[in-house]
Amino acid sequence: MNIRIVIAYNYMTEVVEFAIQTLKDKSPVGSGRDKHPGLYKNSHMIFIDGHVVPDASGWQPGQQINISNPEPYSRKIESGRMQLSVPNHIYEDTAQIVADRYGNQADVKFVYMPVVFGNQAAWASFTKMQRTGRKLSDKARADWLVRQPALQITQRG
């Protein structure tokens, strides 16, 4: 008699927990005159197929996980346009760290994704900011204003 034991392990939960912790470890925490120290650090959010979730425990094979931050200054932190005591490129560096550790289980990419709620959506609705050097249609400008640095995590085939 042959007995076959199958264990279904949701390793994506482990990948996402590691990614979130790495982002928090690399995040700046304001000080001094900062009215909300730690806001950026504590605002990294998990999305499964575009829906905000508290963790990756509900992930199913074939679904895409994204992690992003809805704070409006997230792009400035990523690109280095803010003077900080920590290095910039937080999401880009984290993507490489997570890929190095879990690359045999998950594809991890640095991307920009639309975040159309919270502080980012409020800021995008009233800012007069324009993308330098380019004339954008209203739709393209609205899309550009809500794109935030993100990690894209999918199951490795």
pLDDT for res 123: 46
Mean pLDDT of the chain: 81
pLDDT for res 124: 45
| pLDDT under 50: residue ranges of the chain | 120-124, 126-132
Tokens describing residue 96? 């490489």
Angstrom distance (rounded) from CA 11 to CA 154: 11
pLDDT in tens, 94-119: 999 999 999 999 999 999 988 765 55
Angstrom distance (rounded) from CA 59 to CA 36: 32
Residue 138, number of CB atoms within 10 A of its CB? 7
Tell me the percentage of the chain whose pLDDT exceeds 90: 45
pTM of the entire predicted model: 0.77
φ/ψ (deg, to 5) at 12: -65, -30
Strand partners, 110: 151
